[in-house]
Amino acid sequence: MTDLKLRSRHWVVNEKGDIIIGEGRCEILENIEKTGSLNQTAKIMRMSYKGVWSKVKVTEQYLKVRLVATDKKRGSRLTEEGKELLEKYHRLKERCLQADDKVFKSIFKSA
């Protein structure tokens, strides 16, 4: 059997199945932190400014915390809550991928 690998994606959703954070929102938050700009983040991700801002706002509203602070002089940056959410998502993803890999290997082990 050839070498097979499992690829998986992870989303945290609310009770209705709406995405709270996943790969896309994680990338949005990372780009905001890196560029200091919602506009630059939208350009990098080939999204509209409104699309980026809407996704951030939906997550903020559900979690009832501010994730991104905006300032006309200083630009945009993640709040402590935003940084904490990113860190938690990265930890979750890492642990899920480890568990996924373990399960995958137990099922698809070479003969």
Give the CATH number, domain containing residue 69. 1.10.10.10
Return the CA Rg of the chain: 17
pLDDT bucket at 110, cuts 50 / 70 / 90:
low
Task: Using the predicted structure, report yes or no on whether residue 107 has a pLDDT greater than 70.
Answer: yes
Instruction: Characterize the bridge pairing of strands 19-21 and 68-71.
Output: unpaired
Look at residue 16 in the predicted model and tell me its pLDDT. Answer: 94
**80 vs 107 pLDDT, higher one:** 80
Q: Residue 8: inside a domain, yes or no?
A: no
Look at residue 22 in the predicted model and tell me its pLDDT. Answer: 96
> Any bridge partners for residue 21, and if so which?
12
Q: Residue 48: inside a domain, yes or no?
A: yes
Q: Residue 65: inside a domain, yes or no?
A: yes
Q: Residue 98: inside a domain, yes or no?
A: yes
Q: Which domain holds residue 89?
A: 13-107
Task: Using the predicted structure, report yes or no on whether residue 111 has a pLDDT greater than 50.
Answer: no
| Six-digit token string for 110 | 């070479």
Q: Over the stretch 10-58, which tens digit does the pLDDT of each residue have?
A: 999 999 999 999 999 999 999 999 999 999 999 999 999 999 999 999 9
* pTM score: 0.87
Query: Which residue, chain included where needed, has tokens 């609310």?
Result: 14
Q: Residue 3: inside a domain, yes or no?
A: no
| Six-digit token string for 24 | 């896309």
Q: Residue 4: inside a domain, yes or no?
A: no
Q: Residue 1: inside a domain, yes or no?
A: no
- Mean pLDDT on 85-105: 95
Mean pLDDT of the chain: 93
Look at residue 1 in the predicted model and tell me its pLDDT. Answer: 52
Domains in the chain: how many in total? Answer: 1
Could you tell me where the DSSP H helices lie in 9-48?
23-35, 38-44
Q: Residue 5: inside a domain, yes or no?
A: no
